[in-house]
Amino acid sequence: MKYLYFPGNIEKSAIKLKDDNGANTGPTIFDVFKGIEKIKNNQRIRPYLEEAIEFLELGLLDEAEETLDEALEIDDKNIKIYNLKAIIKIRTGRVQEALEDLEIVIEMNPHDPLAYFNKGNVLILINPKESIKWFEKSEKLFIETELPISSQFYLAKGQAFKILNEYQEAYDNFNKAIEVDRDNFFAYFRRAELLVIFGDFESVLDDLDSCIKINSEFFPAYMDRAIIFFKLKRYFDARTDLKKLIEINPDFEYEPVVMDLWDKIHTQINYVKSDDE
């Protein structure tokens, strides 16, 4: 499955549709726009949308935006174009421009849940309290349109609550994110971060284990798990995770936080060896 990542949080964005039996089939946000039979794209701009989506999947943001600009010249009233342009601008840090595109979408279609979701996501770091209002509006519209709410929705909403120090609300939303998508590795990672605040280190390890099992190349989980192992005096396990982190991302070997933890781990391991002797 391909995921769309937002700047600053590494979070995946996937809108889930229903199959004929009402079950979650798990397509990504791109599949929402690709669902031609459901979304009746203007025939003239369909090739532009499909090409832009392919560029997005490849991380070719400039090419995707140029293609969407060409599509706008053909149909400047198509909300899918503005939604995609907003996603590109979110990823490239052009927050105000993204908000402007989303306002266009909302003005043209006040019942588009994706626009409200994207707007809430943009506002998480700027104004988390305001972002929750947009998430709640999005949630209401998803329910009204009978579209299942994605794991990413609960993940983003939970993060907004976490920033506001409303930890129980954050925890509940992270739980929902995992219930919707058991393979959302980042939901386990976010919940683990929250459980650190609760001081539940064994549960933190469980969630980090799940995160790494799903995505063994996600190096931040190894860093967090090494820190927890160190707190629990499992120094050899902590060292193993730091080695794995550096193996995945060698540039981190000389990061101050990594070097500091590495020194502390080896100091403790030397004490253990001295005691054994």
Backbone region of residue 184 per phi and psi (left: phi > 0; alpha: psi in -120 to 50; beta: other values): beta
Residue 53, Cα to own-chain centre: how many angstroms? 18
Range 4-183 classified under CATH 3.30.565.10: no
pLDDT (tens, 9 = 90+) of the chain, 277 residues, equals: 333 333 333 333 333 333 333 333 333 444 444 443 334 446 788 899 999 999 998 989 999 999 999 999 988 889 889 999 998 998 898 989 999 999 999 999 999 898 899 899 889 988 999 999 999 999 999 999 888 899 999 999 999 999 999 999 999 999 999 999 999 999 999 999 999 999 999 999 999 999 999 999 999 999 999 999 999 999 999 999 999 999 999 988 888 999 999 999 999 988 876 655 5
The answer to whether the CB of 14 falls within 8 A of the CB of 181 is: yes
Tokens of 165: 């120090």
